[in-house]
Copies of this chain bind each other. A is one copy, B any other.
Amino acid sequence: MSNDRRLRLALFGSGRIGQVHARNVAAHPNIDLVLIADPFIDGARQLAEATGARAVQDPEEVFAEPGLDGVIIGSPTSTHVDLISRSAAHGLAVLCEKPIDLDMDTVLACQEQISGHTVPIMLGFNRRFDPHFADVRRRVEAGEIGRLEQLTITSRDPKPAPRDYIAGSGGIFRDMTIHDLDMARFFVPDIVEVTAVGANVFSDDIEELNDYDSVVVTLRGSGGELVTITNSRHCAFGYDQRLEAFGSTGMLLAGNVTPTTVRKFGSEGTEEAGAYLPFFLERYAQAYQAELEAFAQSILTGAAPSPSFEDGVSALALADAAVESAATGKTVAIRKN
């Protein structure tokens, strides 16, 4: 950060994602993690000790803390809109994990509530900050492949989340595909149509929950661009996160990441790379750091945050459309706001 001012942040939630943010803030040379709020105070205390912060149980203590610049919301989804609204009302910048909420009406009500506030509200679509995807985006913008015509996103989790998690997740489109829908909008902001197909090929649990374990989504951009998203809730070779941008004069492809460049050659096979980084904590470690930096810059410079609250609304609208399309077998048009 060019600006010398130190930032003071608080964190809601000391779970897996909260821990990622807490450690990144603690390691940042110009940001202090002041408070960690979690009703499960034990987790908050443990994390606070490791990161030099103070643990509190009640969110109100965050809002009462003098001199805070902003908050990071890593608590359960159901708490997001409440914490966003209250933080904004207290003049605190917000970096909120996706999704804003699983229910569009709730999201729109929140949007209404915060509309009068000027603090930056940023959504945690971390993949926009992945150096591989960001490099493709930058080069597409620079015209390296001419006009973008097709975008192919492959996104598979190593294995399904626990049944309980999936039961409350809002379904694969709102929980998992939503990252890819935002990635689609990162390249093609104006999506006009959604066509989705879902299937159950390996998980009885997921089927019983009336959810899909595998989906394909096709999006149409206002310029005729076709985006294809392929998802699976499991993947034997790890976290599969790839992207192909096909344009009128060429193609750019971002692949999976191995920890080293080592290749093995044996009698059965050759040029074998190692296992891919196993899941999002490893694959997107750099992305979370860059996301934090972008949030800090937004606070310091007043620049509009990206991805914004509106990006979160749009991604949810696409997820809702995918739910409808998969259920009805019909392409769903996206209404302009």
Contact = CB atoms under 8 A, between A and B. Distances in A.
A300 interface: no
Interface string A195-216: 1010111100000000000111
Contacts of A270: 237-238, 256, 258, 272-276
Interface stretch (A40-48, A178-186, A242-250): A242-250
Contacts of A273: 269-272
Interface in A237-284: 237-238, 240, 246-276
Given A248-B236, A331-B330, A230 B152 contact: yes
Interface residues of A, number: 74
A320 interface: no
A131 B259 contact: yes
Nearest to A229: B228
Nearest to A255: B261
A236 B199 CA distance: 34
A235 B266 CA distance: 9
User: A154, A195, A224, A270: which has the most chain B beta carbons within 10 Å?
Assistant: A270
Contact of A232 (B216, B246, B265, B267): B246
A195 B136 CA distance: 29
B226 A214 contact: yes
A135 interface: yes
A261 B257 CA distance: 7
A173 B313 CA distance: 35
A250 B224 contact: no
A264 B250 contact: yes
A74 to B, nearest CB: 22
Given A236-B249, A257-B261, A330-B329, A271 B272 contact: yes
B262 A250 contact: no
A146 B236 contact: yes
